[in-house]
A and B are shown apart, each in its own frame.
Chain A
Amino acid sequence: MIDIYKVFIVEDNLKALKELEILLKRYGFEIICAKDFSDIPLQIQNVKPHLILLDINLPQYDGFFICQNIRAVSKVPIIIVTARDSDVDTIMGIRLGADDYIKKPYSPEILVVKVQAVLRRVYEMASADESCMKYKGLFFDLKDYSLKYEDKTVELTKNEVKILFLLMNKAGSIVTRDELIYELWNNDEFIDDNTLTVNITRLRKKFESLDSCVIIETKKGVGYILK
């Protein structure tokens, strides 16, 4: 596991860049900003970031060109940021090797969720055993949506799987309600506050039926912790 992820930001609007830096630092990322847009691939080889946020509209070369050049030297995940809303842009970005894209003016929460999701997909899922997670004797099988403890098994629904995945991934620390909701939205599950509460309650019942010592603790007004 990597402790602190390094995010490399390529953005020519200095004010937005500053705010972006503040935002992502608050979520625990280390931020490095591109100073010059002419030798991005070189800078990346020096910095070795875990993720690149790449604006498409840049003064010298456009982002697509840079994206292509980065891909020539590195496999680092890239999220493309575009102000244009044509599909051509996003398709082209993905074809040139970008991992995800986000359209301006995005919501900051959604940017954070996307960054986290890409990082998790690339670094955490790949390093861990992809199909299962373990915590205090609980065995969470992502392939068949089941949760096992000793000889007992319960089936989980799609939303429960996603929620539990996030909680287990950050077991022992708080996952906020907003984080959970935006994460699920990023996965096309448009849940609301009540649905989240209902899902958490159901998860708790399933934990009880397994007789495990793992619990989901509510932090009032903030979120949940898996303990």
Chain B
Amino acid sequence: MKFREYIKEYELFIFFELLGLIIIDIYLFLINTFFQLIIIIDIIYLLSPLLFMIYNFHKKKEYYSTIYRTMDNLEKKYFISEFMAQESFISLENEIMKDILNTMFLSMYEDIKNSKEKQLDYQEFLEIWIHEVKNPLLTLKLIVANNKTKVNKSILEELEKIENLLEQILYYSRYENLENDYVIKETLIEDFVKNAIKKHSRQIIENNIKIQLSNLDNIVKTDSKWMEFVCSQIISNSIKYVKDNPEVKIFAFEDNNSVALVFEDNGIGIKSKDLSRLFSKNFTGYNGRLEKGSTGFGLYIINRIVHKLGHEITVDSQEGSYTKIEVKFSKAVHKW
């Protein structure tokens, strides 16, 4: 609150004060009062409103800056009405404002609660649905396994694509609720990496992709379920965009305050102009357009998950030779 703004706020009051002063002065002049006396009366007349204005300015300034300060320190700013002090000098305004804010908060809270409930409902339904849909998917896989034909491989590939897409949507729906659905604890990198690789076992074995694991015995603070999904999506990309003699190297290294987990493949790589937008929503890039099944969704969602877990993800690639994705865990602990 600036003094000038404050004065502007009291324009009318000042105007009437001055008007009153002029009327009194004219009256005093007309009844032949001494000039000195008029000055003294003017000063007395102006003193109390002037003192009031200054006092009022300081008090209000203090009042509002306290509110702003409290609000800055509040994580959930909408709770501000609960923290507004009992202010005696403008208690009326304070109470009215608190009341308005409270009412507003409650009505907004009601709305948010409703939409949260709806969202949870929807998520619950989606989870059940996805778990249900896994049953026919399994039956299909078994049927394919029991009836060897020429098209088996291509059917299996399509089924696995469905599986991967289902996993994406499952984790995407959970993502909104990630705060309530993760446990950060000390986890051996090897554990979630291996589980992620196993999800793609058939594809890797059938396509003769070499998997090289080394130095995965670091412990990081993360959630293993979410990281397993992240790794699974990275591996899924690595084994999708392969060239001759496909190979995926997965390793970790440690420096002073972080552990980096690296996935490096010798696949077709990414065009340099696509690199910067790789993690954007719906971005498919050149490779994605070649491969018709790409949604541009996988990298977008893992990028968001990784950030929410407090890690970093970077990508480096040379078109035609390699792609390297690095996940950095900041709070390194110790070696196993």
A residues sitting closer than 8 Å to B (CB atoms) are 13, 15-16, 19-20, 22-23, 26, 57, 83-87, 104-110, 178, 181-182, 185, 188, 190, 192-195
Contact = CB atoms under 8 A, between A and B. Distances in A.
A13 B131 CA distance: 13
Contact of B208 (A26, A104, A193): A193
A194 B205 CA distance: 11
A57 B138 CA distance: 14
A19 B213 contact: no
B142 A190 contact: no
A42 B78 CA distance: 60
B201 A182 contact: yes
Contacts of B198: 185
Main secondary structure of the interface of B (DSSP, over half): helix
A108 B141 contact: yes
B146 A192 contact: no
A23 B143 CA distance: 9
A19 B225 contact: no
B134 interface: yes
A181 B202 CA distance: 10
B201 A83 contact: no
8 contacts: A13-B135, A20-B142, A84-B131, A105-B163, A106-B138, A110-B201, A192-B204, A192-B211
B202 A192 contact: no
Contacts of B194: 188, 190
Interface string B200-217: 011011001111010000
Interface residues of B, number: 29
A177 B208 CA distance: 12
Contact of A15 (B139, B170, B211, B225): B139
Interface string B117-145: 00000000000000110110111011101
A57 B170 CA distance: 19
A188 B141 CA distance: 23
B205 A192 contact: yes
Contacts of A105: 134-135, 137-138, 141, 159, 163
Interface in B177-233: 194, 197-198, 201-202, 204-205, 208-211, 213, 224-225
Contacts of B204: 190, 192
Name which of A15, A57, A87 has the most chain B CB atoms within 10 A of its CB.
A15
Contacts of B225: 85-87
